Every structure is written in C-alpha cells, then in structure tokens.
Structure 1
Amino acid sequence: MVPLDPVPLPIDHVLRGEPDTVALVDRAGHVPYAAAEQAVARLAGWLAQQRLAPGARVATWLPKTREACWMPLAAARAGLVHVPVNPLLKRAQVAHILADSGAALLLTHPPRATTLEEGDRPGGCALHVEVGEGDPLPRSEADADSLAALLYTSGSTGRPKGVMLSHANLWLGAISVAHYLGLVPDDRALGVLPLSFDYGQNQLLSTWVAGASVAPLDYLTPRDVVKAVDRFEITTLAGVPPLWVQLLETDWPAATAARLRRLTNSGGALTPALVRGLRARFPDARLFPMYGLTEAFRSTYLDPALVDDYPESIGRAIPFADVLVVRPDGRRAAKDEPGELVHAGPLVAQGYWQDAERTAARFRPAPPFARAPGVAVWSGDTVVEGADGLLRFVARADEMIKTAGNRVSPQEVEEAVTAGGETSEAVAIGVPDARLGQAILVVARGDGSTEAGLRERLKRALPGFMQPARYLWRATLPRNANGKLDRAALREEVA
C-alpha cells in the first residue's frame, strides 16, 4: 500500500515503478517505466524547444494517445502549465478555453485541427498536430505550490472556468487515492474517463505513484470496455453511473468479470439498484463510491465494507481532506443537522484562473473549528453527518446539470440554443433520467416549428452530452420581479 507521506513533490516525479514494470499498455504494446520516463523527458525537451515563457499554458485536445498521457508530466517538467481539453468538445467550447487560459500552444491531431476556424486560437497560440523529440530534460525541481495545471469545469452560470491546480494538489491527490484504494504494483487500471476530468487524470497519477499499470481507452460501446478488461487483464475500473448502467446491460464472461478487484464511482451517486447490480455482476470486486468537486479534487469515499448497509452515504473524508458540515451562521452543524459541505486542507485548489470574483465566492477562509487552517472550498452542497460519522448528500445548491457524468452549465446550453434565431429565449433544466442521471430539458419561447432545424444546428455546435433531450415550447416564459426569467418557477413546472 502507498504510504501517506504528506510531503509533495513535483508531479513529474510520479513515475515510481520499477524500470522493467509496465507503466502503460495499449494496442501498440507495453511501455515499461524506464521507457515512460524517457518519453516524458523527451516530450519535455520538445516543449522546451518551443521557447515558451515560463508558466505558459499548453493545451492538449487529443484522444487518449500516449502523448496525451505523458503531457501532464512533460509540461510540468518543462516549467509550463497543462490545459487538457475534453476531446468531446466542439470548436466553440475549445476556442473559449484557449482564449480564457491564454494558451501559447495547442497540441491536437489533424481531424480536430481542421474544425477550427479563424479566430478560434488566440494570437500567439501555436498549433501542432504532431510532436518531435527534444533533448531529455531531468526531473523538475519546481516548488510544489507552483501552478501545474488548469482543469476547466462548468459552473451553474457562465462558461467553463479554469481551476488552478498546483503540483502539491496533484501529488497529494494521487497519494491519497492510491492509498485508500490499496493499489499495488501488479494492479492494472483501465482509463475510460476523459483525461480532462480531475478523476480521469488522477487515474494516471495514482496508478503510476503506486508503481502499477494503466491502459488508456477511448471506447465506442460498452462491449469495448468488456473486451479491454479481458485483453489488458484489468483489475481496477473507474466509471460514472450512466456507464455502470450500460455495463450491466452488457454480457460479461464470468472469467472477465472475475478479473476486477475494485470498482470506483464518481460523477454522481450510485442508486441502490445499481449497487445491487454491480455486486451481483462483480462479486469479487470491492466497490468504492466517492464524492468530490474539481475545486478540491475529491472529498469523501465510502469504505466498500459499508456499501451494502449504507448505500445512500458518501462516506468519510479521504486522506489529506478536512471535510466539515457548516451551519448558515458559520458554526459546526450538529449530528443529523443539514449544513454546507466545506472542504479544507492541502487538496484545495488555488482558485479560478483570472477570475477573482468567482474565486472569492467559492474559496473562503476555513471555519475556525477546521483542523486545516487557511482557504477552504465552500461547495454549496447540503449534507448531513450522522451519529455514525458517515456523510449523506442532501441537495446541490446551484443549478448545475449533471448528465452522463458530465457537469453542464445551463447558461452555455441556453446560449447555444438562442444563437441561431430559432428562438430568442430558453431555459435549460436538468430532469431525472434513469440512464443519464439527469437529461437536459429546454423550455423555449415559440411554437415548436423550428425544433427540427434547431436540433440539426446543435448537432454541429455542441458535444453529444450537451444535446437537449427534449424541448417544451411556450408562447411566453415566466419572469420574476426583477424582469429575469423565473427559473425556479419553470423547474417546479417541469418537475
């Protein structure tokens, strides 16, 4: 088991396996740790050849290629800040991230590069569709508190914002997860989550810090996942609830299902029915439900031994996290009293990139009773801590839509819906959906005659997970006393 050493290192030191042990495996073969270290060193050398300013942002908009896997380490080694972009995003969303981050370099591949239009890249942002090899750079000696990555996450309003993560944030997150999952060198993780997600990236880092192996996978169907578990001899599988639903509807050979030692869930709560289904399908696997937010990476996990008796719980704080339940008056909530989940400690990010207003709203001083002083993340989520010390999720305060494991900003959907002239007003709402967790419902002003054209346009403008599932058309939309669209009234109406 990985020891809980609280002293962080630069994140490119995370490759800690034995030289001949496999660090990464894909269709092209096995990459031992010694070769992985050289690949990172030479990619960092190539980045150094680009003569970018220290701390410049380098974006990757890639499928799970080897370069995409090495880049979080190589960028840090070269003294740069990595900005992974979800490969499912379309050019408008990518253009926002490039402009907001001030990216100096975008690494993508030809099919995606051809979709970019003039003005999508900020001035001075170089475009590369392949990388070369530079002189290998030695491991970084960067300050662990220096910025290493920007992960873009949507808020309930506005466009995605960049969460600033230091080397220490990434390192301690990797140590924490590797420790409580009990990862060991003979483990092999299947990387199905996007590398732009905090947990998708952490799968690389926590696996490597344990000296184990990772198999990155871009899959088209759930059957691809089943085949990969067998082909790559996978022991650890991470997913989100909609993926578990699909995997339970897929045939699993008994020998393949038996390969899995642990299942880890994030991106939404597991229903009791899903827990029962996973238990039946994978009886030998330990199930780890988890709760987190990108601003602090991960807050809690539920011990697999407690899942059957407490399926509704989000568990207890992970190592290095100080998780508190706080009343509106700032005092500690009593047992069984609802309060806001506040996360303090070294996993807390450094704020939002160039957004002092939203940083001040979310990143505030920790309560006086916190074990870890300093800045904490005030999540806005309401939870309850029971007498047993287990936390239970009650409600999310914001209007975020969580669909298929993705966090979607209603405002971003609304801007896309109203951009083409089919309707001038629209409100996007998340409604319960058995497969997706939430589906996107749009209430729009009009008679519905333009819906077919609107759907066709949005297929080109938005990624699949942001496509509205259903439209409700209204002659007028309700407004509140301030003249704004009354979202609360619409949510009540469609509930």
Structure 2
Amino acid sequence: NPLWRHAHHTPTRIAVRWGARALSYAELAASVETTASYLRAQGLNPGQPLVVWANKRIETVVVVLAAWVAGLVLVPLHPALRAGQLRSIFARAKAQGIVVDAPHAQALGCTQGSPNHWGYSPTPDGLFKPLPFDAPPINTPARPLPEPPYSGLGSALAALMFTSGSTGQPKGVMVTHANLNTGAAAVSQYLGLTAIDELLAVLPLSFDYGLSQITMALRVGAGITLQDYLLPNDLKKPLIHGGITVLAGTPGLLIPLAQAGWFKDAPALRCITNSGGKLPITSVRALRAAKPAAQLFLMYGLTEAFRASVLDPAEVDTHPDSIGRAFSASVLGLVDDQGTLISEGVEGVGELVQGGPLVTAGYFNDPAATAERYRRPPTGWPNRADERVVFSGDQVRRDAAGRYYFLGRLDEQIKVQGFRISPEEIEQAALRYPGITEALAFGYAPESRPPGILFEPLEPCFIGLVVAPDTVN
C-alpha cells in the first residue's frame, strides 16, 4: 500500500537506482503491477512460494514486490548459493516457481528466455522448465493505478527466509506480512527516516535486514540505491557522490570501511546501522572518529524475530560494547540456567528471550525445530502469558540501566577449570589491545588437538588468533 500511495502523491520521485538506471515511484508501481499480473497468469496462486535467485538489480526489486502484490510467499535466496543448494531449498520450500537472472539461469542449465529474466516451473525430475517470461516492462509510462489486487493480510505468510542453523541444515523462517510491516514501521521511525533519505542497499535481499531496507524505504517514500560490493572501495562512489544518507552494514563491511581513509568524506551520510554480528569496540570508535556527525545505531536481532534491541546513539561513546535496549516493538527478558526469568531491573546473565509482534511464525515444515526454539514464555513474563516467544540461544548480560551486552552463543561455550566461557569474551578482550584488528578464539578437547597446536592440553581450553597490521608484542 505505501508503494501505491507514493506513486499517486509523488509519482516522479526516484524510488530505486541501480548503476545508471533509475525508476520513479510511478514507474516502479506500474512495473510491479504488470509483473504481478504475469505471475498470476502463470497459475501461481496466493499463498504459494516463489523462489527469487538473482543478483541485486532493479528487476529483482520489481519481482520481490510483485510477489507480494500477487499474494505469493517470497523465498529470496543468496545469489552466491550453488545450484545444488538452490534445488534443495526449492524442494524444502515446496516452491511452485522460480525467477532467476541470466547468470543463475546458466547455472541451472537453462538457456531459453529473455536477456534479462527467466521464469521457470519445476518438473517431476527436479529440473526447471522455462516459461515464456519476457522481462517485465521497466520505465513504463506513469498512468492512474488501481488499488492493488492483493494486499498483505496480517498473519498471512509474506516470506520464507532460509537461514542455516548450527547443523548447517537450512531452516525456512516463516515471516508474516504483520512481521514485515511492524518491523519496517518500528525501525524506520527509530532511525528517523523520511522521504528525503537515500538508503544504500548493500546487504543481500536474502538477509532479513537487507530485505527490510526495501520495505523501510518504501514505507516513508525514500530512495534506494542498489549496490553489490567485494571491497570497501566498491562503496566509495555511491557514498561520496550518490547522496547516500543511510548505510546499513554488517561487521564484515563496517570493520574495513572504518579504516578506509576516504570514508570520512562521505558528505551526506547521517546514519549508520550495524546488524548481523557484534561490532568490535575498536571499529565502533573508528567509525565514530571518521564520521562523528553521523549517528551510529548498534543493533541486535535474530532472523526469527527481526530486530530485538538497539543502542541509543547518544550512549555509543560511553557503552560501545552494548547492543542496547529493547525496540519499541520487542519484549525482552533473561532466563537463567534453570529457565527462571530474571526480574526486570535486576542485573544478570542469561539466555535472551524475545516476544512481541516481531516474533515470526516458526520454521516452515519443521515442527520439531519450531517447538525447540519457539515456546511459551517463562513464568512472570512482562507481556502476554499466552504469547509465543523465541529463545535466542544467545548468552547476554543486562546492566542495572537495562542495557544488554552480547556474550556469545550458548552452544559455543566450553567449561574450563569449572567456568563456562564463551569465545566471544576472549575475542573482545584481545580486541581491546591497540593494533589488533581481528581476533578469533575457539575451544578444543585434549583428544582433538588441531594441527599446528604444539602443546597437549590437560583439559578443554581455548586457542586464540589475532590479526594486526603491524608487529605486535
């Protein structure tokens, strides 16, 4: 609905850019409507999954939005997946169709179709039969648009976001339209997004926070610049010359970006958000030093519940190791080793539990994994006692002011001399030393000494590795 609203009220405003190409809101809405009609004409019915396996470009955004307008369940896959992985997830999702671009069509062994897009339907032998899918019309002349023929229905499924668990087996997280809308509203409001913002979409659309860059921008009528990257310098042109005001990244992007000498010269950048892992304190301080005028939002979240917490930018300099407090749309709590809820306002360490409207509907076609992760809340839960909450599997600490601090995954802890220790704690300690830019700690048992380790431990212990630009004593 926001897409249609902006197409009516601000039809000429640029909605999405990719390289030298751009679509206005009116052009985007028209292309989405045409593509949605095509998808329905292929016999795809509301509620059926549609896989999108393509590089990030304007047509990809069109197909993503068209899937929702057509009432389909979007299954966005990372473009770096192999064809075998695609086939496995396609089967697990019980998908009824797939949209791919030229490189991925070749990976599937399909050669027919248009130069830009292919549509495919599965065959009994597991192969994909080309459909007569011409590229959806782009830069369609603006015209009066009807109300969308199918809109989000709250609890109806909007997407399956496949994420690998500790076993590596992909799990399809069931995201509803209500999850998407509530998440986009909560985060865009907290970041203060408006129609004059330009978001740099560098995260893959298969990543929940990458997909939400699209939904947040559309909600407020902002612009989106699509960008892939391998190295920080790939972002130099859009950040310096593209009018980018908002950048969402992961530690893998923000750590080297903070060290790039040109980053300080990004003139319009006012907002940086981190997700997908804890940002080391050294990188937090480097980002703040490079762009002191830009607000830095340190976030924490799960694919199973989108965003859980965010640190107020005003507290970043004094608490750079914190993941903040609960989002307005999140309810957070801590449970101890016995599963008892630690009272609010009390400092403590435990497993983070999240409730509220951002909690997704579970894992697709996997009731056992759903029952393990999604449960009834512990006794004394501050929200509805009948809601379903998600147990994160993450160990966090809460201070007296209600701020949370990520300590590590519970399944990665080992017991050393009677103490349960997380490798994250050791890594963070190493990163406090000047000159160390990256650190990795891992545990092993006496009977499984890794190659290259010269001493024989008497009990489980940790090995630490550090990376530094110069020699470190």
Alignment of 1:222-261 (within 5 A): 222-252=232-262, 256-261=265-270
Change (3 A) 1:159 1:13: farther
For 1:297, the equivalent position in structure 2 comes to 306
**1:300-355 deviation line (CA, Å, top 9, x unaligned):** 00010000001111101112111111234443214221121111011100000100
| SS of the residue 1:94 aligns to | helix
Assess if the C-alpha contact under 8 Å between 1:144 and 1:168 holds in 2. Answer: yes
Question: Aligned equivalents of 2:248 and 2:175: distance in 1?
Answer: 22
Quick one: which of 216, 225, 231 aligns to 2:226? 216
Could you tell me how far 1:15 is from its partner in structure 2?
5.8
Question: Aligned equivalents of 1:195 and 1:439: distance in 2?
Answer: 30
Could you tell me how far 1:197 is from its partner in structure 2?
0.1
Could you tell me how far 1:144 is from its partner in structure 2?
1.1
Which piece of structure 1 moves more, 142-151 or 283-292?
Answer: 142-151
The answer to whether structure 1 residue 370 and structure 2 residue 379 are counterparts is no
For 1:171, the equivalent position in structure 2 comes to 181
Which AA in structure 2 matches 1:216? L
Assess if the C-alpha contact under 8 Å between 1:262 and 1:286 holds in 2. Answer: yes
For 1:472, the equivalent position in structure 2 comes to 451
For 2:420, the equivalent position in structure 1 comes to none
Assess if the C-alpha contact under 8 Å between 1:57 and 1:104 holds in 2. Answer: yes
Assess if the C-alpha contact under 8 Å between 1:11 and 1:76 holds in 2. Answer: no
Assess if the C-alpha contact under 8 Å between 1:106 and 1:127 holds in 2. Answer: no
For 1:319, the equivalent position in structure 2 comes to 328
Which piece of structure 1 moves more, 133-142 or 192-201?
Answer: 133-142
Which piece of structure 1 moves more, 299-308 or 390-399?
Answer: 390-399
Alignment of 1:51-130 (within 5 A): 51-116=43-108, 123=124, 126-127=129-130
Change (3 A) 1:253 1:296: closer
Change (3 A) 1:20 1:391: same
For 1:196, the equivalent position in structure 2 comes to 206
Question: Aligned equivalents of 1:185 and 1:228: distance in 2?
Answer: 18
Change (3 A) 1:436 1:211: farther
Moved over 6 A (4+): 10-14, 134-137, 433-437, 439-443
Assess if the C-alpha contact under 8 Å between 1:104 and 1:126 holds in 2. Answer: no
For 2:417, the equivalent position in structure 1 comes to none
Alignment of 1:452-491 (within 5 A): 472=451
The answer to whether structure 1 residue 385 and structure 2 residue 398 are counterparts is yes
Superposed CA RMSD in Å reads: 3.5
Structure 1 residues not aligned, in runs of 5+: 1-9, 401-428, 447-470, 479-487
| SS of the residue 1:292 aligns to | strand
Change (3 A) 1:86 1:11: farther
**1:242-295 deviation line (CA, Å, top 9, x unaligned):** 2112213323175x4232101000111122211111011112100000000000
For 1:33, the equivalent position in structure 2 comes to 25
Could you tell me how far 1:72 is from its partner in structure 2?
2.8
Could you tell me how far 1:394 is from its partner in structure 2?
2.1
| SS of the residue 2:368 aligns to | helix
Change (3 A) 1:131 1:340: farther
For 1:358, the equivalent position in structure 2 comes to 369
Percent identical residues: 38
Which piece of structure 1 moves more, 60-69 or 24-33?
Answer: 24-33
For 1:162, the equivalent position in structure 2 comes to 172
Assess if the C-alpha contact under 8 Å between 1:14 and 1:171 holds in 2. Answer: no
For 1:453, the equivalent position in structure 2 comes to none
Could you tell me how far 1:296 is from its partner in structure 2?
0.2
| SS of the residue 2:395 aligns to | strand
If the length of structure 1 is used for normalisation, what is the TM-score? 0.76
| SS of the residue 2:216 aligns to | helix
Question: Aligned equivalents of 1:179 and 1:36: distance in 2?
Answer: 24
**1:429-472 deviation line (CA, Å, top 9, x unaligned):** 999697677599999x99xxxxxxxxxxxxxxxxxxxxxxxx83
**1:456-489 deviation line (CA, Å, top 9, x unaligned):** xxxxxxxxxxxxxxx8389xxx9xxxxxxxxx95
Assess if the C-alpha contact under 8 Å between 1:110 and 1:129 holds in 2. Answer: no
| SS of the residue 2:296 aligns to | strand
Assess if the C-alpha contact under 8 Å between 2:4 and 2:147 holds in 1. Answer: no
Which AA in structure 1 matches 2:163? T
Question: Aligned equivalents of 2:224 and 2:361: distance in 1?
Answer: 28
Which AA in structure 1 matches 2:52? T
Which AA in structure 2 matches 1:359? T
For 2:347, the equivalent position in structure 1 comes to 336
**1:6-53 deviation line (CA, Å, top 9, x unaligned):** xxxx79769687322221122233322111111111111111111123
Assess if the C-alpha contact under 8 Å between 1:233 and 1:259 holds in 2. Answer: yes
| SS of the residue 2:299 aligns to | strand
| SS of the residue 1:157 aligns to | coil
The answer to whether structure 1 residue 150 and structure 2 residue 129 are counterparts is no
| SS of the residue 1:284 aligns to | coil
Assess if the C-alpha contact under 8 Å between 1:366 and 1:376 holds in 2. Answer: yes
Change (3 A) 1:279 1:141: closer
Which piece of structure 1 moves more, 107-116 or 377-386?
Answer: 107-116
Question: Aligned equivalents of 1:129 and 1:338: distance in 2?
Answer: 57
Change (3 A) 1:337 1:205: same
Assess if the C-alpha contact under 8 Å between 2:440 and 2:464 holds in 1. Answer: no
Question: Aligned equivalents of 1:157 and 1:11: distance in 2?
Answer: 39
Structure 2 residues not aligned, in runs of 5+: 111-120, 414-422, 466-473
